Amino acid sequence: MADNLEGIVESSEAQLLATGFIFTEGPLWHPDGYWLFVDVRREPGAIYRLEPGGEPEIFREPSNGSNGLTYDLQGRLIMCEGDARRMSRREQDGAIVALAEHWEGKRLNRPNDVVCHSDGSIYFTNPGGRVPEDEREIEFSGVHRIAPDGTVTAVVTDTEYPNGLAFSPDERVLYVTNTRERMYIAAYDVVPDGTVSNGRTFADMSSNEPVGVPDGMKVDSQGNVYSTGPGGCWVFDPNGNQLGIIRLPEVPANCAWGGGDNRTMFFTAHTSVYTLRMKIPGISPWRGT
């Protein structure tokens, strides 16, 4: 299929920002002018801070195997701590507090990725594939929601290995990538009470590409969906039609919007991190004051 990305990508090539890592993930932009990302396979796990044009610095180490990152409505950092099997929050004074460790009395699997809704609730993927069977307390791999009052519920229970997730611009649709078995993006209608319904396949991402799986995902202001996957970052229009694959020097695992105009996309790609300028601004998770 011929790529149709002339209305999407502005840069002629990706800019390498830093390299020498093991497996980068969890990209996030702070409006003060820096990126955060993680190296999920570095022992004992680290979150890095990187200013454009600068060198990466340790932001948090150890990180309890942190992976997906986002901000809540108050601008506090939310972290998926895979090794600790919990969701956590970094307070404004730097203290780390647990947000969720259990669902219905059962210990979480390995929280992987996270997104915050404008009502203050937090949705996160909770795959169980990397938890030893004898330690797994939740039988399904799903998506959970932390309500503003702290209540944890399960909203998606029918995916084999949920990974990345994102909302449509109007937050009426929740997208979830499935990394194992069938490779696809699922879509769910978001109900006013925070639950979801009408689960369906938004896009098939099966491929003969030798490297990459559906993973991190973001949406731009026009509703186009960007999902890292086989061979690069796949781009779909709001109807699920594939526009093309953004190819970088390394196959990316995740992506995030940032920069002053929110038109810079930051890619975490195994040993390195890159940026590309885009033509359409993205949706920022930042609502902090």
Average pLDDT, the chain: 95
pLDDT of residue 44: 81
pLDDT reported for residue 39: 96
Whole-angstrom Cα distance, residue 277 to residue 124?
28
Helix, strand, coil abundance in the chain, percent, nearest 5: 0, 50, 50
Least confident of 40-54, 142-156, 218-232, 237-251: 40-54
- pLDDT for the residue numbered 45: 86
Mean pLDDT in residue range 137-142 = 96
What are the residues whose beta carbons fall under 8 Å from the beta carbon of 135, sequence distance 6 or more? none
DSSP label of 282: B
pTM of the shown model:
0.96
Residue 268 has pLDDT above 80, yes or no: yes
Give Cβ neighbours of residue 6 (< 8 Å, ≥ 6 apart).
none
Kindly state the tokens that stand for 88: 């956590």
Position 288 scores a pLDDT of 61
- HSE (CB half, 13 Å, CA atoms) of 71? 19
How far is the C-alpha of 81 from the C-alpha of 66, rounded, in Å?
4
The whole-number pLDDT of residue 246 equals 97
Q: In which band, very low, low, confident or very high, does the pLDDT at 230 lie, cut at 50, 70 and 90?
A: very high
C-beta neighbour count of 112 within 10 angstroms: 27
Instruction: Indicate the residue type of 202.
Output: F
Give the C-alpha separation, 242 to 221, whole Å: 17
Q: Which residue has the higher pLDDT, 67 or 181?
A: 67
SS (HEC) of 187-234: EEEECCCCCEEEEEEEEECCCCCCCCCCCCEEEECCCCEEEEECCEEE
The confidence score (pLDDT) of residue 129 equals 85
**135 SS3 class:** helix
Each residue's pLDDT tens digit, 67-85: 999 999 999 999 999 999 9
Write the CB contacts of 151 (distance below 8 Å, at least 6 apart in sequence). Answer: none
pLDDT-based confidence at residue 38 (cuts at 50, 70, 90): very high
The amino acid that residue 203 corresponds to is A
* pLDDT above 90 coverage of the chain, percent: 91
Q: What is the pLDDT of residue 1?
A: 38
* pLDDT for the residue numbered 215: 96
144 in helix, strand or coil? strand
Residue with tokens 């040993």: 271
| Helix (H/G/I), strand (E/B), else coil: 165 | strand
